[in-house]
Structure 1
């Protein structure tokens, strides 16, 4: 067995305005009482969150679009329906769908070794032994595959040292080279471990196999055709003014204090910050409604098909077997989507087989295919121990299912 000693740190859809009159702290329509916002009001009252935009859609129409609380506590700006949010890891399923477009076109297979398309991954090693004095490397039993990237089972390292502070300097290509030369943490396919670098590598694969920069591919293949005018890696000056302020717990966990989104960098206007395939997007509830209507319709919206129905079925069924997924009990992994196979605890309102993804600052989007509903929670709350287990998510999903679940399932 070949071994190497390694001791240095690697651096390297048209929607009507359904709720227009303010009553207490949420927006509603006088003809139809709000059904979602009351469930989130208590979290505003106790300063868990500053405010939220809440949305439920069926395959063909938005059933509810409501707001609660404030977009900015200091200015007392009321949360608006078109507020923008950093959706963070909700970017991941979109990246995965982009990759699967190229799979459908025959440009690669999910079973391909990554090194087949990205030569920098050839000869990648795995950590066999690690002590304070040395790291011993060996050859893995097999190279990582595209499916490993999609399911967080690749064994790729966590974010590169210093990566968070050099987002304006790295390109997506440069970051992926850093991942490739870093040793694997475990045998590919043997374990589930949440992995931003794996999804960023999918973004690079999209670039190589499509011949387009990742952000341009997503814009041309998804965002523009779907009419997602406010979904972007680089908000404009006008869009920046609509981004809800992010908050974290105040001193001694009392109240809230403003915090930053690290992807809003000084070089934003120059688009020098790389478009993070694992978590760089900003969006709105109305934009996300269009994306998830497409998913609810089996990959088609209007006259345009984006993905085959069988492709989405593959992406939204368990692809990791019995491997434990740590975000929530009863959860497994599809291709880019988390799957709720056994709804328990915070996911108990959802049907078995529901799928979706959350984001670092508490945003959530979950699709219940039995009830034919997509449920979206947009908040900007840093410091949550686990946004996928948040009480806000559970409260919204219960309210959405209570209000629309029986009607949607009967259609």
Structure 2
């Protein structure tokens, strides 16, 4: 015979079981994560640009003496969907990719597998017989150093539709715009450098970067190929509306993940502000993050030291170029609050990352905008740096 327990008996059994098993019968309490520190004036300044319709939203990060002292998010990552901007939102960082790829080159130099003074033709034979625009032969071949300092004479679009190998081969068919080493002109040279990384390492660029930079630096949201889950975290790219007072979504083959077929060393990475901070902190620490050595001190010194002599470089005055990095030699205008020797890079969609070694300060600005002028000289960048510096008493 099957008998049912009375409610009082059932309650007694449950009570005894609860006492007997103690904490095992109680669900563990979840501890809420500690929110990141926020410097309110920075968020307020960025919110003003949102209200003016210049940007849809922004994520800003400030690192100081090895710690994140500000990580804020304002506005929207997607206006149509009313999706809030979050500190973990991912962005197309465009040309902020270049210093990362240059670091990969330096890792291989550390291992004695190449030198930045090697001729490109040593790895890609098609570059041996390049011609100038007038059909004559240049006085010397281009080197890896030329390619990553934008002094090679290589010219043309940094974007491509096929494979990286095909793009670099096609680039070798174009005439050089000038004698190597004689001028500075922003170029697809980092595409060549990225392809050399593949050839020398025997790995796809994404794999090499993942194993040698992203994993040791714990850059868990940095990739050329965002998976479906990551794609939902990417901020929408916006441009100005017809009347210039609103923002409209812009389709772009770099910022549309489904269109990405190959890694673009000149501007193809997606990342978060926190990931970029980790990369910059590694470089600021002379190539080491915590106990992980990524690249040598000597390589960092070479990358972040002037390599272009007296050539006029960059998109704001007072700059020179290192190996893959822009260096502020004489701060002025948008850079006047930074120290001489500050190094970093901007991106076509407004993203900015700068490292001030004198004050041990890192500035990361993440926005997604286009057709709004020179992003390196933007008032958004200038205001962010100025307000952050004032808050830190720099």
Tell me the SS of whatever aligns to 1:293: helix
Structure 2 distance, partners of 1:351, 1:316, is 14
1:43 paired residue among 39, 46, 49: 49
Structure 2 distance, partners of 1:78, 1:376, is 19
Deviations 1:95-138 (A, max 9, x none): 0000011111111111111111211211111112xxxxxxxx01
Moved over 4 A (4+): 264-268
Structure 2 distance, partners of 1:348, 1:261, is 33
User: TM-score if structure 1 supplies the norm length?
Assistant: 0.85
Tell me the SS of whatever aligns to 2:140: coil
- The 8 Å contact of residues 86 and 261 in structure 1, kept in 2 or not, is answered as no
2:164 paired residue among 150, 154, 172: 172
- The 8 Å contact of residues 92 and 255 in structure 2, kept in 1 or not, is answered as no
Structure 1 distance, partners of 2:391, 2:65, is 16
Tell me the SS of whatever aligns to 1:89: helix
Pairwise CA RMSD: 1.6
Label 1:313 to 1:249 Cα distance change in 2 as closer, same or farther (>3 A).
same
Structure 2 distance, partners of 1:62, 1:95, is 24
Structure 2 distance, partners of 1:244, 1:342, is 34
1:17 paired residue among 31, 35, 60: 35
Deviation of the 1:155 alpha carbon:
0.4
Deviations 1:155-179 (A, max 9, x none): 012128xx65xx2xx1111111111
Q: 1:309 is matched with which residue?
A: 297
Tell me the SS of whatever aligns to 1:154: coil
Q: Are 1:102 and 2:108 an aligned pair?
A: yes
Q: 1:241 is matched with which residue?
A: 232
Deviation of the 1:327 alpha carbon:
0.2
What stretches of structure 1 of length at least 5 have no aligned partner? 1-14, 20-27, 129-136, 407-411
Q: 1:7 is matched with which residue?
A: none
The higher radius of gyration belongs to 2
2:391 paired residue among 383, 387, 403: 403
Structure 1 distance, partners of 2:240, 2:254, is 20
Deviation of the 1:401 alpha carbon:
1.3
Q: 1:208 is matched with which residue?
A: 199
Q: 1:92 is matched with which residue?
A: 98
Q: How many residues align?
A: 362
Deviation of the 1:40 alpha carbon:
1.6
1:357 paired residue among 345, 352, 376: 345
Tell me the SS of whatever aligns to 1:355: strand
Label 1:266 to 1:395 Cα distance change in 2 as closer, same or farther (>3 A).
closer
Name whichever structure is richer in strand by fraction: 1
Q: 1:134 is matched with which residue?
A: none
1:394 paired residue among 370, 379, 382: 382
**For residues 73-222 of structure 1, what are the structure 2 equivalents within 5 Å?**
73-128=79-134, 137-159=135-157, 164=160, 167=161, 170-195=162-187, 197-222=188-213
Q: Are 1:65 and 2:56 an aligned pair?
A: no
